[in-house]
Structure 1
Amino acid sequence: MPWIQIKINTTGAHAEELGDALIEQGAVSVTFQDTHDTPVFEPLPGETRLWGDTDVIGLFDAETEMREVVAGLQYHPLLGEGFRHKIEQIEDKDWEREWMENFHPMRFGKRLWICPSWRDVPDPNAVNVMLDPGLAFGTGTHPTTALCLAWLDGLDLEGKTVIDFGCGSGILAIAALKLGAAQAIGIDIDPQAIQASRDNAQRNGVDDRLSLYLPHQQPANLSADVVVANILAGPLRELAPLIRVLPKNGGHLGLSGILASQAESVCEAYAEAFILDPVEEKEEWCRITGLRGA
């Protein structure tokens, strides 16, 4: 069953109270993790935690409308409007760091391989992306990432510009560059994702062609031949006015992070501006693609 989690950083004294608040909002479980003892959630080098030493993590069914959960939490006296949080899909066993042992080279489409940076590549003549996701989402093990990688492999990216909206580990932007794109732009709300993307771009020798931005830093009037956004259904609907204008006329759009049951509502948010393809499904998740009309 697919899941989504929300993470809130706080102090040990407030953790239980916030855990109760997450349960009230519908979390099926709540986990407390000491940020000093858990490598998965260590801050970036030089980064200072704004709050405290405990991460409160609420696990929700992936059908949950997380925008409503966040809206409800904003009324909590320990949080307030605009409180810091992180929402992400759950990759298999990622929370136990078992992916480091189970993460093997994987093929997507006809040409593309995603290879852990600590393993040998199976085919030196293939298009190989060497990846260490670090603290960010995106290894290729999650169906949504796999759907996006296979789609990119099937496009003619030679000389094109690609925007990866919600870049995570940088896996999609870097794959696009290795597949022939001239330039890529990665955008993410999480500084850890920007760091992971930068590190992986350097590892793959494409950092000179990848520009990375937090949302408030991105240039105005961005556009690209190909735009891919592997986030979640709620943000894809909410941010549709921003995402719809990123592809050039005739440009490609790929959306994922969407449950099959959510596909229709996401399609409706983009149908006016795009000629949409049939929805592609994989293990309860799906991908929506299309061309922007003139």
Structure 2
Amino acid sequence: MANDNPFAFTPGVFLPNAIMHYLEFKISCKEPFREILIAELAEIGFDSFLETDQGVDAYIEESQFERDSYQEVIDKYQVAASIVVEEGLMDKVNWNEEWEKHYDPIMVGEKVYVRASFHDAKPEFEYEILINPKMSFGTGHHATTYLMISHQLEVDHRACRVLDIGAGTGILGIMAHKLGAAHVEAFDIDEWCVENGNENFDLNGMQEIRMGKGTVREVKPQGEFEIILANINKNVLLDEMEVYASLVKKGGKLFLSGFYEHDIADIEAKANEFSFVKESQKTKDNWAALLLTKK
């Protein structure tokens, strides 16, 4: 989900390269509020998150914690999200070790294996993607990234110009490259993502591709693209749909995700205004992804 999305921080784990005292907040909440809480807490200094079955574990360096700001966020969503919090103080921890302990490789069907550099390779998979995420969205663990890759596997990328809008870790651009795309461009609004995306491009032999910084209107990609990938959020997708239409060539494909299943009708209706027709949709854990063609 890449990071035009203000709620798109870490779907799995980001843990800083340091040993220090951290406060731990184990937050139980309704699933739709998990990413909203991550985004809100990140704005007030929380820098490490781990999604759990119950909600999210959030971490902040003790010296950076401001109780009033934290309580304001919790109070804002307390009732709607059914929030319950268990607070604790962590001893000094080697965060690198913790990160490696919690970051698991994933498989998309039987074709794609997404792993960090410290995991063993699995040559039996046709496509292997190396991702070492920092505070970037798109490790493959989140349903929207999984759905987008699933759609990509069904579309011929060979000889295509591909644009990854709100690229996060760069994972979708990497997938496009491995599927034979002739040209890949990617950008994100977040500096963390730009830095991390470029590192991940390097890990996957894509040193010639550098991630840009900004929104699609700020970056102003040039020319037409056979494929555009946008894993962002509903509001941004609706707002930028006209821009996507100006960039996708006739007969080209538009991949969209970052929204819930109940938002499909709104996204599809807006896309139809700009000559996009839905080819297929996928859903997972209440999230959705659409594949559209420009007629």
TM-score (norm 2): 0.69
Q: Aligned ranges for residues 93-172 of structure 1 at < 5 Å?
A: 100-109=100-109, 111-123=111-123, 126-172=126-172
Q: Aligned ranges for residues 172-211 of structure 1 at < 5 Å?
A: 172-211=172-211
Task: Give the paired residue count.
Answer: 236
Offset of residue 125 of structure 1: 6.3
SS in 2 for 1:207: coil
- Are the counterparts in 1 of residues 188 and 211 from structure 2 also a CA contact under 8 Å? no
Change (3 A) 1:26 1:123: same
Offset of residue 240 of structure 1: 2.1
Change (3 A) 1:115 1:14: closer
Q: Distance in 2 between matches of 1:23 and 1:281?
A: 30
Offset of residue 220 of structure 1: 4.8
Give 2:231's aligned residue: 230
Give 1:250's aligned residue: 251
SS in 1 for 2:255: strand
Two-structure CA RMSD over aligned residues (Å): 3.3
Q: 2:73 aligns with which of 22, 35, 42?
A: 22
SS in 1 for 2:246: coil
Offset of residue 102 of structure 1: 4.4
Offset of residue 222 of structure 1: 4.8
Give 1:4's aligned residue: 35
SS in 2 for 1:235: helix
Deviations 1:140-181 (Å, cap 9, x if unpaired)? 111110000111122111111111111000010011101111
My pick for the range that moved more, 191-200 or 21-30, is 21-30
Percent of aligned positions that are identical: 24
Query: Match for 2:282: what amino acid?
Result: E
Deviations 1:104-158 (Å, cap 9, x if unpaired)? 4433255332122211211266221111112201111111100001111221111
Q: Which runs of 5+ in 1 are unaligned?
A: 41-95
SS in 1 for 2:119: coil
- Are the counterparts in 1 of residues 149 and 172 from structure 2 also a CA contact under 8 Å? yes
- Are the counterparts in 2 of residues 112 and 153 from structure 1 also a CA contact under 8 Å? no
Give 2:292's aligned residue: 290
Change (3 A) 1:13 1:225: closer
Change (3 A) 1:240 1:122: same
- Are the counterparts in 1 of residues 251 and 294 from structure 2 also a CA contact under 8 Å? yes
Give 1:275's aligned residue: 277
Query: Match for 1:139: what amino acid?
Result: T
Offset of residue 8 of structure 1: 1.4
Offset of residue 24 of structure 1: 5.9
Query: Match for 2:256: what amino acid?
Result: L
Query: Match for 2:287: what amino acid?
Result: W
Deviations 1:52-108 (Å, cap 9, x if unpaired)? xxxxxxxxxxxxxxxxxxxxxxxxxxxxxxxxxxxxxxxxxxxx9966334444332
Change (3 A) 1:235 1:121: same
Deviations 1:244-289 (Å, cap 9, x if unpaired)? 3221111100111111111111111111220112432111111111
Q: Distance in 1 between matches of 2:203 and 2:64?
A: 41
SS in 2 for 1:169: coil
Q: Distance in 2 between matches of 1:229 and 1:97?
A: 33
Change (3 A) 1:140 1:125: closer
Q: Which runs of 5+ in 2 are unaligned?
A: 1-30, 47-62
Q: Distance in 2 between matches of 1:270 and 1:162?
A: 19
Give 1:71's aligned residue: none
